[in-house]
Amino acid sequence: MTPRTLVLACMMLLPLDAFAIDPPVRLSVKPLLCVLDKGASSCRMTFDVRWKSVVPAEYCLNDGGQPTPLRCWPSSSAGDLQQQREVSEEFRYWLSPAAGTERLSEVKISVLRVDSADRRRERRARHVWDVL
């Protein structure tokens, strides 16, 4: 076995994510889901927003509900923000450069409505012998 073949064989044993390149800007938000009960129209949540970048620069955090950025960090490579808000429909947070509109990283917040219109929930559970 040649050294080149040995190296290729070893590379095939590594998981694929070992070769993955981290994105230059990473945005994470918790929680990602708002669950609305049958009678509720919105939920009040506190979002923990964190971001990290390989390159220090001026970054701004935006959301779909506001025309201006929530916050900007001058010459930073990381940042965090906690925001409390009422959520009734899905929206997005995104990180952009201060001087542009490009979305470097984006996270979607979803809304799940729990309706009891699903007949399977309301149906009485039957035993298998009830049909006889």
Distances (CA, A) of 82 to 6, 46, 61: 50, 7, 12
Q: How far apart are CA 101 and CA 98, in angstroms?
A: 8
Q: How far is C-alpha 5 from the geometric centre of its chain's CA atoms?
A: 41
Q: Which residues contact 79 (CB under 8 A, 6 or more apart)?
A: 50, 51, 59, 61, 71, 73
The answer to whether the beta carbons of residues 49 and 74 sit under 8 Å apart is no
Q: How far apart are CA 12 and CA 21, in angstroms?
A: 17
Q: How far apart are CA 23 and CA 129, in angstroms?
A: 58
The pLDDT assigned to 106 comes to: 95
Instruction: Please give the model's pTM, rounded to 2 decimal places.
Output: 0.69
Q: pLDDT (tens digit, 9 = 90+) per residue, 66-111?
A: 889 999 999 999 999 999 999 999 999 999 998 888 999 999 999 9
The CATH class of 21-111 is mainly beta
